[in-house]
Amino acid sequence: MSQKLKRLRDDALTTVNSHTKEQHGGLLKKAVIIAFIVLVAVISLIVLIPPAPKEITLLTGTAGSSDHELGVSLAGYLEEDGLHFILKTTSGARQKLQMLASGAENTVAFLPVSMEKTLADSTDTSRLVSLGSVSYQPLWLFYRNELQIQSIPDLRGYAVALGNEDSVVGHVSRFLLDVNDITGQVKSNTLKNANPAVIARALQDGKIDAAFAVGQPSSGYINALLSDENITFLSFERADAYLALNKAISTHRVPEGVFDLANNIPSRDMMLLGITTNLVTLDSFYPTTVPVLLKAISKIDVQS
C-alpha cells in the first residue's frame, strides 16, 4: 500500500473515531441529564407528597350516639383493609366541625349538611370538603302516650330532652321549637348532657315527658322506645313546611307496621323528618385513601 493511501486510511479512521467519541459523549451527557431530572422528580415527589396515612382519626358524637355506632362499624371494616381508625368522641357536630376547621390532618368526621352553614359566620370552613353522604338519620320525637301531643306546639310546659346544643339532634330540635315560636316554653334543660340510652331510660321511667332522638330503628335505644307500649312517636304532619324552611331536613313517609308487623308498629302511616350525614375532611386529605373509606361505608350500607 502506498504511503499516500495509508495516510488517507489513517485520516479516515481518525475522523470516524472522533465522530464516534463525540456521539458517545453526547449520549452520555444526555443520559446524565435525564438521570438527574428523574432523580429530582423522585425527590420532589417524596418531599412534596407525603405517604398515605396508616392511621386516621374519626370524630364521632358521644358514646352511644348514632354516629358513634356508625363509626364503630366503619372502623371494623377499615381494619380489614389495613387502615387503623382511632375513634374520638366529641360533644357533637359543632365541636367536630371546629376541630376540622382548625386544621386537623388525617381526620374525618360525620357531620350533617346544616352545620357548616350554621357556623359559616364564626368559623372558617373554606378548607372543608365532603367525601359523600354516609347515611340518612331519622329524627324522632318520642313521648309518653298518655300525653295529648299531636304537633310541636303541644310540647309547651312539658319536660323535653332536646339534646346537647352542639349535637345534630340538639340543632334540629331547637330549630323546630324556634319556628313554632315555643322556645322558652319547654322545660329543655333536663338531662341535656346525658347519652341517648340514659335519655331513653328517663323517658321510660317517667322522669321526662318527651325526647328528641336521631338514629336508625336498629339502634339499641331507638328500638327500646319503639318496643315500649307506653311510648309512642310523633308524626310530623307539617313535615313539608319544615322542609321548605330548612333544606337540610328531609321528609319520609313511614308505612304502617314497617318496624314490627306482628305488633303493627307503627299503627298507622307516619311522617318522619330526617338528616343526611356526610363524611367531611380537609382538602389536604390523602386522595388514595378516599376509595378505601367509601368501600368500607358501602359495606355498612349493605349490612344495615
What is the chain's pLDDT, residue by residue, as a tens digit (304 residues)?
555 555 545 554 555 455 554 545 555 555 555 555 555 554 544 455 556 667 888 888 777 777 787 888 888 877 777 778 788 888 777 788 888 888 888 888 888 776 555 555 566 777 888 887 777 789 999 999 999 899 999 999 999 999 877 777 888 898 999 999 999 899 876 555 578 888 899 999 999 999 999 888 888 889 999 999 999 999 998 999 998 888 778 888 999 998 889 888 888 899 999 888 888 888 888 787 778 777 777 776 544 4
- In the chain, the DSSP E strands lie at 55-60, 84-89, 107-112, 128-144, 160-161, 210-214, 231-233, 249-254, 270-282
Count of C-beta atoms within a 10 Å radius of residue 63: 13
The reported pLDDT for the residue numbered 303 is: 44
Amino acid sitting at position 269:
D
The reported pLDDT for the residue numbered 36 is: 54
